[in-house]
């Protein structure tokens, strides 16, 4: 993506999914892990295990900077494993250049893209269920406006981090998983 390195072709590496909240990183990642016969790892869950609190609690009690510090550790833990996994990064993980560099070294990094309107539609169901996982969307401002601003601010970081981009607009998680597999060209083990 950044034009300086070739896309890694072999599959002896992790597969990392990046992108905005609502891009489908977790739902697509779980399906990809099943199809590739790999473990699925979600850095938000690693953060919660490390901290012993939910993402929402960490933001509320300790603040975003504390969350980002634990997230950086979770990224290192996930990428350190030599059992190749499918790893969904939290939406803001690649804002940290160190996380980006580690991911590009140890993984094939795929950016799941979606129009902001679709991101907002997808996150709204989870926001109704609970406010815990996405504290950045609970300021009271309409999620679509927050996501729009955030997507603009983050676009460059996603672009620099990604080896490949997959468009998720109008596609179900299964369809996106199929598109990712086609884009990366890795062999899918027979089941
Ligand atoms: C965040 C995204 C969330 C979570 C945290 C911060 C972000 O993960 O890490 O609320 O900065 O975009 P998802 O992208 O899995 O929702």
pLDDT at residue 140 in the model = 82
**Residue 185 CA to ligand 1 centre (angstroms):** 28
- What is the CB < 6 Å shell around ligand 1? 21, 25, 44, 55, 90-92, 134-136
**pTM (two decimals):** 0.95
**Residue 91 CA to ligand 1 centre (angstroms):** 4
pLDDT at residue 135 in the model = 87
- Grouping H, G, I as helix, E, B as strand and the rest as coil, residue 185 is coil
> Which ligand 1 atom is nearest residue 23's CA?
14
> 157-189: per-residue pLDDT in tens?
999 999 999 999 999 999 999 999 999 999 888
pLDDT at residue 117 in the model = 96
| Residue 125 pLDDT class (50, 70, 90 cuts) | confident
Question: Is residue 23 predicted with pLDDT exceeding 60?
Answer: yes
> Which ligand 1 atom is nearest residue 47's CA?
9
Averaged pLDDT for residues 53-70 = 96
Question: Is residue 132 predicted with pLDDT exceeding 80?
Answer: no
Which of 90, 126, 135 should be mutated for ligand 1, with most atoms under 8 A from CB?
A: 90
Q: Which long-range contacts (CB under 8 A, 24 or more apart) does 136-141 make?
A: 136/21, 136/59, 136/92, 137/21
| Residue 4 pLDDT class (50, 70, 90 cuts) | low
Burial of 1: CB neighbours in 10 Å, binned 0-12, 13-18, 19+: middle
> 86-123: per-residue pLDDT in tens?
999 999 999 999 999 999 999 999 999 999 999 999 99
Which of 70, 91, 127 should be mutated for ligand 1, with most atoms under 8 A from CB?
A: 91
* More confident: 7 or 83: 83
């Amino acid at each position: 993506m950044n034009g300086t390195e070739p896309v890694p072709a072999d599959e002896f590496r992790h597969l990392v999914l990046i992108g905005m909240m609502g891009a489908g990183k977790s739902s697509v990642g779980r399906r990809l892990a099943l199809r590739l016969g790999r473990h699925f790892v979600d850095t938000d869950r690693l953060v919660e295990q490390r901290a012993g609190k939910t993402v929402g609690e960490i933001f509320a009690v300790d603040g975003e900077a504390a969350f980002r510090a634990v997230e950086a550790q979770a990224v290192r833990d996930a990428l350190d494993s030599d059992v190749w996994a499918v790893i969904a990064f939290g939406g803001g993980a690649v804002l940290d250049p160190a996380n980006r560099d580690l991911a590009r070294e140890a993984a094939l990094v795929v950016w799941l893209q979606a129009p902001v309107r679709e991101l907002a539609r997808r996150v709204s169901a989870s926001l109704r269920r609970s406010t815990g996982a996405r504290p950045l969307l609970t300021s009271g401002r309409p999620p679509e406006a927050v996501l729009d601003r955030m997507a603009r601010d983050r676009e460059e970081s996603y672009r620099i981090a990604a080896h490949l981009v997959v468009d998720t607009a109008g596609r179900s998680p299964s369809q996106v998983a199929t598109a990712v597999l086609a884009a990366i060209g890795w062999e899918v083990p027979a089941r």
